Structure 1
Amino acid sequence: MIRFSVLASGSTGNAIYVETEETAVLIDAGVSGKQITNALAEIGADAKKISALLVTHEHSDHVRGVGVMSRKQDLDVYATSGTWEGMEKYVGDINVEKQHTFTVGESLCFGDLKIEPFPISHDAREPVGFCFYQGETKLALATDLGYVSTRVRDAIAGADAFIFESNHDVEMLRIGPHPWTVKKRILGDKGHLSNETAGDTLTEVLSGNSQDVYLAHLSPDNNMPEIAEITVRGILTENGFNVGQDVVLHDTYRDKPTPMQTIKRM
């Protein structure tokens, strides 16, 4: 059994809580320590249960609160060597004994929770996504990626739940306020996934057995939750999925946590 909550999601900050009966971890801390602590209290999670903080990449909306959380909660922090190099200027002093480096292909184990990182394509030094396992139960996390490689697709396929990027509506982005250089970055292979790409990918990795999908990292300028859901729902429906039965779509939020979700492979 795995329980999780997306504490915050979007360009203003990201954090995810994952727990099993034995342990808990925090993925990213891109909002203030106070917001994370308040979100944990809102979902009924005990911050003292958290045994580690894992970082996907060094952008400020993922690491802004890493140093504070490590110091205040005495947390061990795990990141790739590239991410450590990139986030030093954001996190302040972290006890060297609390700094841990992992590599892609290495499994991390905390109690009964196994975590497997996989490489993603983003404009960061060494970014990763994660798959979480407890027994046969699997949760997949993939955000901040410009395209979905075969390796990503293979890593996340068949999960019981997905936290998956649905960053922008392409037309909203094209006519939106950002300069072309920013639009080009977002649309590029090291940028972010569109709603359409999210939907297309999900048709390939879902098995159709009552899986939950959390649409994450939505742009506040180039997307809306209802547009993301309508687009993804339409693509899934066109490909034979019964949305609401085979798969359930969930919103994520910039300023509040999602309700704690429990998944268990039967």
Structure 2
Amino acid sequence: MKVAILGSGSSGNSIFIESNNHKILIDAGFSGKKLKDKLNNINVDISKVNALLITHEHSDHILGAGIISRKYNIPIYITRESYESSKDKLGKIENSLLNFISDKNFNLFNTFNIYPFDVMHDATRTLGYRIEVENKKIGIITDIGYVDNYSKNFLKNLNLLIIEANYDYDMLMQNDYPWQLKSRVKSNNGHLSNDDAAKLICDIYHKNIEKVYFVHMSKDSNTYDLAYTTISSKFNENNINVDFKIINYGENSEIYYVKGENNG
């Protein structure tokens, strides 16, 4: 299984996953042209994308979803609640391309076992995803204010986790945001701080976790150095030894090849 983060943050979010020559996107928060260019940068033809899964209806996650679905006949998988909240932004989607996600797991192309789960965020409905291909397991939670035990159950025994580290608390409190926005960001339905994200990894850590990507950094309330220092310190305090990378605002990741727990 190959994974690449095409970008994360308020300017747009999208994650590419491939296995057995089947290609899916998680979110499409960039224009159609940008998504095409970002995929070209990792040598992927956008017309070969087989499915698009949506986490929630905020614009930085769906901006290009309707466009690429119509242009390239890409099926969209989205909750009915998110669709009803965003159908004007998405534009007309052919019924044959529109698939509603409930709370049940499903399989795509006899390759991807998809386990959607509800997370706490200030959208109509927001999903995290656990995706399994044979013995390879990845988790994606990029917009979440608080990780409850329900969500943690989906994040156990992963090989790869993509999780937000959105803000540094002190920097958030000192910036020029209005108080209402600060309260929203740090609420249980907002975003995870660097410290929150690091604590979660300590809680769910196990020997087969290969890599953690910290994403969705705020350009106004976080910096790479603050995130790195906080996460490293928390890991050192808890004797956690895991390979991690912080994806800076607007940055793309390399392609990561998930090994799987039985492959060394």
TM over 0.5: yes
The amino acid that maps onto 2:257 is T
Unaligned runs of 5+ in 2: none
Deviation per CA, 1:159-188: give whole Å up to 9, x if none. Answer: 111110100000000011100000000111
Within the candidate set 252, 261, 264, 2:259 is matched to 264
Partner of 1:7: 6
Give me the whole-angstrom Cα distance separating, in 1, the residues matched to 2:223 and 2:183. Answer: 20
Which has the larger displacement, 78-87 or 252-261? 252-261
1:196-207 matches, within 5 Å, as: 196-207=195-206
Give the Å deviation of 1:109. 2.3
Partner of 1:90: 89
Give the Å deviation of 1:22. 3.2
Partner of 2:27: 28
Give the Å deviation of 1:253. 4.3
Moved over 3 A (4+): 253-256
Q: Would the aligned equivalents of 2:9 and 2:250 in 1 still touch at CA under 8 Å?
A: no
Q: Would the aligned equivalents of 1:81 and 1:101 in 2 still touch at CA under 8 Å?
A: yes
Q: Would the aligned equivalents of 2:157 and 2:208 in 1 still touch at CA under 8 Å?
A: no
Give the Å deviation of 1:47. 2.2
Q: Would the aligned equivalents of 1:156 and 1:205 in 2 still touch at CA under 8 Å?
A: yes
Partner of 2:152: 153
1:204-223 matches, within 5 Å, as: 204-209=203-208, 211-223=210-222
Which has the larger displacement, 91-100 or 207-216? 207-216
Q: How many residues of Structure 1 are paired with residues of Structure 2 in the alignment?
A: 261
Give the Å deviation of 1:254. 4.2
TM-score normalised by L of structure 2: 0.95
Q: Would the aligned equivalents of 2:8 and 2:216 in 1 still touch at CA under 8 Å?
A: yes
TM-score normalised by L of structure 1: 0.94
Q: Would the aligned equivalents of 2:158 and 2:209 in 1 still touch at CA under 8 Å?
A: no
Q: Would the aligned equivalents of 1:43 and 1:257 in 2 still touch at CA under 8 Å?
A: no
Instruction: Report the 3-state secondary structure (helix = DSSP H, G, I; strand = E; otherwise coil) of the residue aligned with 2:252.
Output: coil
Give me the whole-angstrom Cα distance separating, in 2, the residues matched to 1:130 and 1:172. Answer: 29
1:138-149 matches, within 5 Å, as: 138-149=137-148
Instruction: Report the 3-state secondary structure (helix = DSSP H, G, I; strand = E; otherwise coil) of the residue aligned with 1:148.
Output: coil
Deviation per CA, 1:51-109: give whole Å up to 9, x if none. Answer: 11010000011011111110121100010111101111211121122111011133232
The amino acid that maps onto 1:189 is N
Give the CA RMSD over aligned residues.
1.3
Give the Å deviation of 1:256. 4.2
Q: Percent identity?
A: 32
Unaligned runs of 5+ in 1: none
Give me the whole-angstrom Cα distance separating, in 1, the residues matched to 2:105 and 2:84. Answer: 19
Give me the whole-angstrom Cα distance separating, in 2, the residues matched to 1:234 and 1:89. Answer: 45
Partner of 1:17: 16
Instruction: Report the 3-state secondary structure (helix = DSSP H, G, I; strand = E; otherwise coil) of the residue aligned with 1:218.
Output: coil
Partner of 2:74: 75
Q: Would the aligned equivalents of 1:208 and 1:241 in 2 still touch at CA under 8 Å?
A: no
Partner of 2:231: 232
